[in-house]
Amino acid sequence: MALSRHAVRWPVIARGAPAGILLAPVLVMVAIAAAVLAFEQMALGALTLPFGLAFLAILFFFRDPRRVIGAGVVSPADGRVLVADPAAGRLAIFMGVSDGLVWEIETRLGPLELTQVAGIFARRIVPYVRPGDKVKKGQRIGLVRFGSRVELVLPPGCRLVVAVGDRVRAGASTIAEVQDGLGP
């Protein structure tokens, strides 16, 4: 895995986002048009606001922002640190909104174990890579739809630099430093 800082360009909407995210604006427009025809002004305000807010919330959840890759071991997800156990090299990040998908990533320091935990709402993990694929630091490996948690077990030689309650950003926030400047 490379240690260099470089900008990564990702699409605005994450790969693996549900197809409904693209149909939502069409459905909203049809519902609003029907409401205006049937109930005129009253329905326009009553339907526009909830449908519009729901669409914006889903769009926000499935955004895929550009990030500058951080130094050391970087966060695998956006969220708040729930567990930071330096002795065990274990970290858990709450992602918001219980199936799991476990990745074991071989690094120069040894294996790094990452578990993606899907929330009870959508229960879907969309992998972008397959077993045996090589990944680079900061590379997207999958999407947890309406995910709730990512857990990480770091290889020996990594020192956690985050604490419970810290806010982290995927690919950008340094969560651990590596002895001798080597990176996983």
Q: What tokens does 53 get?
A: 């807010």
Q: What tokens does 41 get?
A: 């002004």
For CA atoms 114, 148, 138, 68, the dihedral sign is negative
Catalytic residue among 4, 75, 148, 173: 148
CA distances from 89 to 69, 124, 167, 181 (A): 21, 27, 18, 17
CA distances from 73 to 150, 180, 182 (A): 15, 13, 10
- Which contiguous run of DSSP H or E holds residue 167? strand 167-168
Catalytic residue status for 4: no
Q: What tokens does 162 get?
A: 């985050």
Q: 156 near 182, Cβ under 8 Å?
A: no
Residues labelled as active-site residues: 148
